[in-house]
Amino acid sequence: MSGVWIYSENAAIAAQLVAPARELAGSGHSVCAVVLDQQAAEGLLTYDLHTIYKLAGDASWPESYATGIAGLADKEKPDIVLIGGTLRGKDLAAKVAAKLGAGLVSDAFAVRRSGDGIETDRLMYGGLAVCTEVTLPTALVTIPPHCFEAPATAPALAPKIMEVQVQTDGSIQVGAVCPIERQGADISCADKIVSIGRGIARQADVELARQLAEALGAELGCTRGIAEDYHWLPVERYIGLSGQKVKPSLYLSLGISGQVQHVAGIRDSKIIVAVDKNEDAPIFAAADYGIVGDLYEVAPLLAQAITNAKAK
């Protein structure tokens, strides 16, 4: 049966795929979900899906279900498969697409019907451009987490759960799974961020940014260079296309030139402020407010002025 499928190994993200899947299905098609366990199936029972395919296999590693999902899709022939764009999801999606010989659009932030297929929008060139693409069925799409909101539950018609026995890929041995210990808060959820780039000359000077962050009540972030080349802040703190994507109410950059990949990570910020001595730095085009000046002079003054303003 043709229709729209959703899959994510993360239950909350799977629910976020329901809204775009319904939109794509319209009145003529059904929405089905693929899940890997009973708990995930139950998490989706409250949405008006047609069928929930529960894959039964002997592996706990989600990526090892690529062959199973591809086999099921080959038999049931969905037109469109939406996959939650976590890193595990992207890995699995590409393996499923290869096995099906299908097209896959990565990280689409918009997806709509177009003729017999779909049209999608995604970023190119590190966030400089938007690429609109057309894919014919079977079309796979990964969608970034939190791109859509999970719809209100609609328990009118409970979907049926169908258990499917599948082969899993056992060639990869997975051991030692460790949660990543974060120092301080997760900056992807921070309300305010002070972020540093190569305009900071020495590691000791990170303190300037830290004091400004403290005055603002902000978390400290940085560019890829600061985390990966200099190791002045942990890798989890670097913001950009391949790092963290942030959406604070206030993003304040110190000594960041504004390479496109970095700007791609901050574009959902409400207010962007840039401080840099180079008037032509691209960061100013991406900023709501900016100061052209020496950050070593500006940052302490700014920290003091913010403390004063807050005290009023």
Partner 1 sequence: MLNIIVCYKWVLDEQEIRVNAGSMTLDTGRAAYKISDYDRNAVEEAVLLAERYGASVCGLTYGGDPVKQSLKDALSRGLDSVYWVHDPSAATADAFVTANILAAAIRKIGKYDLILCGEGASDTYAQQVAPRLAALVDIPGLTFVSKLAVEDNKAVATRKLGDCTEVCTVPFPAVVSVLPEINQPRIPSLKQVLGAAKKPMIEWRASDLELSSAEITPKVRVASLKGYAMSRKNMIFKEEAAASVTKLVASLAKEGVL
Distance CA 241, CA 262 (A): 6
Q: Which is nearer to partner 1, 49 or 295 (CB)?
A: 295
Residues 6+ apart with CB under 8 A from 42: none
* Contact of 294 with 275, CB cutoff 8 Å: no
Q: Which is nearer to partner 1, 161 or 292 (CB)?
A: 292
Q: Which is nearer to partner 1, 151 or 234 (CB)?
A: 234
Distance CA 187, CA 220 (A): 8
Q: Facing residues of 263 across strands?
A: none
Nearest distance, CB of residue 266 and partner 1, angstroms: 10
Nearest distance, CB of residue 126 and partner 1, angstroms: 5
Nearest distance, CB of residue 263 and partner 1, angstroms: 7
DSSP characters over 54-97: EEE-S---GGGGHHHHHHHHHHH--SEEEEE-SHHHHHHHHHHH
Q: Which two tokens stand for residue 45?
A: 């029972």
Q: Which is nearer to partner 1, 55 or 287 (CB)?
A: 287
Distance CA 194, CA 57 (A): 46
Count of beta carbons in the 10 Å neighbourhood of residue 62:
18
Q: Which two tokens stand for residue 24?
A: 């794509």
Nearest distance, CB of residue 87 and partner 1, angstroms: 5
Q: Which is nearer to partner 1, 49 or 205 (CB)?
A: 205
Nearest distance, CB of residue 6 and partner 1, angstroms: 19
Geometric angle at alpha carbon 133, from 6 and 149, rounded to 5°? 35
Nearest distance, CB of residue 210 and partner 1, angstroms: 18
Nearest distance, CB of residue 50 and partner 1, angstroms: 26
Give the residue among 258, 268, 244 at the shortest CA–CA distance from 184. Answer: 244
Which 8-state DSSP code applies to residue 194?
E
Nearest distance, CB of residue 163 and partner 1, angstroms: 25
Q: Which is nearer to partner 1, 60 or 153 (CB)?
A: 60
Q: Which is nearer to partner 1, 87 or 156 (CB)?
A: 87
Give the residue among 180, 230, 183 at the shortest CA–CA distance from 205. Answer: 230
Distance CA 203, CA 154 (A): 54
Q: Is 212 helix (H, G, I), strand (E, B) or coil?
A: helix
* Contact of 19 with 65, CB cutoff 8 Å: no
Q: Which is nearer to partner 1, 56 or 98 (CB)?
A: 98
